[in-house]
Structure 1
Amino acid sequence: MVTSVIFMGTPEFSVPVLEGLIKNNYEIKAVVTQPDKKVGRKQKITKTPAKIAAEKHDLPVFQPVKLSGSEEMQQVIDMHADLIVTAAYGQFLPTKFLKSVKIAAVNVHGSLLPKYRGGAPIQYSLINGDAETGITIMEMVKKMDAGDIYSQKAIKIEPDDNAGTLFSKLSIVGRDLLLETLPSIIDGSIKKIPQDPDKVVFSPNITKEQERIVPTMTATEANNMIRALNPDPGAYMMLEGKRFKVWKAEVAKDSTDLKPGCVVANKGRFAISFADGTVLNLLEVQPSGKKKMDIKNFLNGQGSKFAPGEEIVDK
């Protein structure tokens, strides 16, 4: 018997999960995703990755600004699906909706719950310098990411991982773990594990203030933030009053006596001093009003004006 699914997702992370369900003969009754958004300088209306994938398979798409109480929610409830499957949808789901399906409402979450409930679990695993992260397949309840755990799988965080690479890896892990777990959810044989409330850690959405790198951070803390905010929205420091984005860096092996925020070297590398004598080598940057560039191009241009020992990073 074919199992029917209401799928809910928005970013690229959700696409392999949706494609996996389709390929494994689940009946997708509808795809619910966030509204199209204006993107970039030209404010071009852009479809969500989940919508693009849904349209490719001629699936019905619903995009309520707010799901709760919407006409779209009632339309989806009236489809009487067996399952709701969500993967980074981006809105709270009302209890009425969660209880409307015949079997279960299942979420593919990008962390090893109860660590990192909330909207930015992948970013926080990088910010905090974790050695591993993973996927949790969980039962959805009204409280955010608080449902019982069906299954989990961990992966190692590599030194060169950023949010973009981890999202890509975890979307595949999420797809495979979901497909592995669903049969036992459907036949009722799975044993759910409640989350330990004493181990809950939250990962709220990244604020504008968090995007800024300040010299009071250590080089490791600054580098972790750079990795966490690549590819979106990007971390920056204020260099002589101007926003200076850093897309890639590495913690240098050397240390310095210079106070934080100074140029340690600008020949062959561009190194900045941070707290506790630590040093960060900048590898890919984007000065205000310019395109991304590797550090060699920066040093051949405006980077050449900075002298070692000069304090250039605003506090």
Structure 2
Amino acid sequence: MPTVPDSKLPRIAFAGTPEFAARALDALATFDCDIPLVLTQPDRPAGRGMKLMPSPVKQRALAHGLPVAQPETLKTPELRAPLLEAAPDLLVVVAYGLLLPRSVLDIPRLGCINIHASLLPRWRGAAPIHRAIEAGDVRTGITLMQMDEGLDTGPMLAERALDILPADTTGSLHDRLAECGARLLIDTLPALLAGRIQPVPQPAEGACYAAKISRGEAQLDFARPAGELERAIRAFDPFPGAVMTMQGVAIKLWRAQAIERTGEPGRIVEVSDRGVVIGCGSGCLRVTEMQKAGGKRLAVADFLRGHAFEAGQQAQLPVR
């Protein structure tokens, strides 16, 4: 068994990978505790040169002078050894990218807690921010939960709600939720460590799954209502970016508004500096920010200076 250092401070290990998790680690680094270990995903190829890049959590951990381990999996005793040797009282998990087996959940004395970007049980799973915007939800938030072996099914410790604003993209809502999650963690830790919080089981009703976003979803189907497509464009910003194909050329759509107008699905109704209006299954979509492959995101007036669109042109509709 590991030897626990003589310290009155709680020992809180951390597991996470993307920027959303890095903000929680920054907050934890300001809390009065020892952080004996940070777990994150292995370095991955990124960028045009496909060089190995450390995760945002690894970068932040090193900046704080914290020890880091990057196991591919936690299924073997050898790969779990660094966490066991760290002897944490608590493990905070935020978008780590690995399901924790029971053998890991049982290591910390106080168990493992997770910061999840939805009001559970709605939007369990990998893409809760995208799916909330895509579905037209008007509210989301952060749930702090005690982890079990299920996918975001553990009992809840605390939650904090946020409104989804009409102009929110996944990028803007991500940033607000990341800050909300970091604050909720720090606000909750004192009572949690003192044993003053009673976990509450998630409600049986209202559970739904936020499936991971695929690039295939990015291709817009203009047979759908304009309001749905407007939400999809916001949900897929910044990744993977909503796409239409016009005359064989893929063009990303970054900003648009659903408007009350009629038009054949996928056919351009109007072209002006105010926007490119495209017919949908119901209503039309006025697109005001676009991007061609290899180019920059441009306001429609600037985009049209280099890319001629005309009323009557037809966007390619996905094969159904």
The reply to whether TM is greater than 0.5 is yes
Tell me what 2:61 maps to. Answer: 54
Quote the Cα distance in structure 2 between the aligned partners of 1:156 and 1:30. Answer: 34
Q: Which stretches in structure 1 are left out of the alignment for 5+ residues?
A: none
Gaps of 5+ in 2: 1-7
Corresponding residue for 1:299?
304
Seen in structure 2, the aligned counterparts of structure 1 residues 93 and 299 have a Cα distance that, compared at 3 Å, is same
**Residues 263 and 309 in structure 1, CA contact (< 8 A), matched pair in contact too:** yes
Partner amino acid, structure 2, of 1:118 = G
- 1:227 deviates by 1.1
TM-score by length of 1: 0.94
Q: Distance in 1 between matches of 2:291 and 2:74?
A: 38
Q: SS where residue 72 of structure 2 aligns? A: coil
Q: 1:107 aligns with which of 95, 106, 114?
A: 114
Are 2:137 and 1:130 aligned? yes
Which residue is 2:23 aligned to? Answer: 16
- Hey, what's the Cα distance between the residues in 1 that align with 2:42 and 2:16? 11
Q: Distance in 1 between matches of 2:135 and 2:317?
A: 24
The counterpart of 1:280, out of the listed 270, 282, 285, is 285
User: Given that residues 62 and 72 in structure 1 are in contact (C-alpha distance below 8 angstroms), is that contact kept between their aligned partners in structure 2?
Assistant: no
Separation (CA, whole Å) in 2 of partners of 1:289 and 1:180 = 44
Question: Matched residues in 1 for 2:205 and 2:235: separation?
Answer: 26
> What is the CA RMSD across the aligned residues, in angstroms?
1.4
Deviation at 1:12, TM superposition (A): 0.8
Question: Distance in 1 between the 2:51 and 2:256 partners?
Answer: 31
Q: Secondary structure in 1 aligned to 2:179?
A: helix
One-letter identity of the residue aligned with 1:43 = M
Match of 2:311 in 1: 308
SS in 1 for 2:74: coil
CA separation in 1, counterparts of 2:237 and 2:75? Answer: 32
Given residue 127 of structure 1, which amino acid in structure 2 is its aligned partner? E
CA contact (8 A) 1:262 1:313 kept: no
2:36 to 10, 13, 29: 29
Post-superposition shift, 1:131?
0.2
Q: 1:180 aligns with which of 178, 187, 199?
A: 187
1:209 CA drift (Å): 2.1
CA contact (8 A) 1:138 1:149 kept: yes
Q: Is the 8 A contact 2:37 2:69 kept in 1?
A: yes
Equivalent residue in structure 2 for 1:157, among 153, 164, 169: 164
Cα separation, 2, equivalents of 1:168 and 1:126: 14
Q: Distance in 2 between matches of 1:195 and 1:246?
A: 37
Residue identity matched to 1:226:
I
Q: For 2:249 and 2:75, locate their aligned partners in 1 and report how far apart those are by CA, in whole Å.
A: 42
Describe how 1:222-233 pairs up with structure 2 within 5 A. Answer: 222-233=229-240
Moved more, 185-194 or 155-164: 185-194
1:168 shift after superposition: 0.7
- Separation (CA, whole Å) in 1 of partners of 2:166 and 2:33: 37
Moved more, 286-295 or 107-116: 286-295
Task: Give, in whole Å, the separation in 2 of the partners of 1:131 and 1:70.
Answer: 44
Q: Percent identity?
A: 34
Q: Per-residue CA shift, 1:197-244, capped at 9, x if unaligned?
A: 332111011123212111112111111111111112212122222221
Residue 172 of structure 2: SS of its match in structure 1?
A: helix
Measured in 2, the distance between the counterparts of 1:70 and 1:41 equals: 36
Match of 1:189 in 2: 196
Deviates more, 1:87-96 or 1:208-217: 208-217
Cα deviation per residue 1:85-105 (whole Å; 9 max; x = unaligned)? 011111101111111111121
Distance 1:73 1:212 in 2: 41
Moved more, 180-189 or 139-148: 180-189
Give the whole-Å Cα distance in 1 for the aligned partners of 2:75 and 2:249: 42
Offset of residue 248 of structure 1: 1.9
Structure 2 letter corresponding to 1:274: C
Count residues with an aligned counterpart.
310
The CA deviation at 1:70 is: 5.9
**TM-aligned CA deviation for residue 78 of structure 1:** 2.1
Asked if 1 retains the 8 angstrom alpha-carbon contact of 2:215 and 2:240, the reply is no
- Scaled by the length of structure 2, what TM-score is found? 0.93
SS of the residue aligned with 1:164? Answer: helix
Secondary structure in structure 2 of the residue aligned to 1:249: strand
Match of 2:266 in 1: 261
Aligned residue number for residue 228 of structure 2: 221
Q: SS at the partner of 1:165?
A: helix
For residues 56-105 of structure 1, the C-alpha deviation after alignment (integer angstroms, 9 at most, x for no partner) is 01111111122222633222122211000011111101111111111121
